[in-house]
Amino acid sequence: MAWGDVAARLHARLLRMPEDQTARLQATANRDVLIVTGHVDDLPWVEGVDYACSEPAAPGLWLPTSWEPDMPVDLMGQALLDRFARAPLLLWHAPRAVLPLDRCLPVTARHLQRIQDEWAGH
């Protein structure tokens, strides 16, 4: 997961990766963030990228790997899933955000171009 300038660097890195590797990844983005999912061995490394994973105690909830919430994860996960009625959800702590992951699409040149166009305001 990458925000702002780091998202742009992650996007550029994805464009340079071999197609056989990006074919195993999925991505979603909005104007602030780029989220890439896939097997840990396939994920690109870019300085400043943060990592998240699914939370075993709360199916359908993903949390940053570097953050431990101060409330029970199972209750938090259920409340978020009830409120948003979508899954999976990524709960981010700084900046605070709940991001749906159910619209991740395979990483292709076309998908990366759509992300770039969206960021450029086209």
Q: How far apart are CA 4 and CA 9, in angstroms?
A: 9
Q: Hey, is 77 helix, strand or coil?
A: helix
Looking at residue 14, what is its pLDDT?
Answer: 97
| H/E segment holding residue 105 | strand 105-106
92-98 own/partner pairs: CB under 8 Å, 24+ apart: 92/1, 92/52, 92/64, 93/64, 93/67, 93/69, 95/3, 97/33
| pLDDT values of the chain reduced to their tens digit, one per residue, 122 residues | 999 999 999 999 999 999 999 999 999 999 889 999 999 999 999 999 999 999 999 999 999 999 999 999 999 999 999 999 999 999 999 889 999 999 999 999 999 999 999 999 87
Residue 32: what pLDDT?
Answer: 87
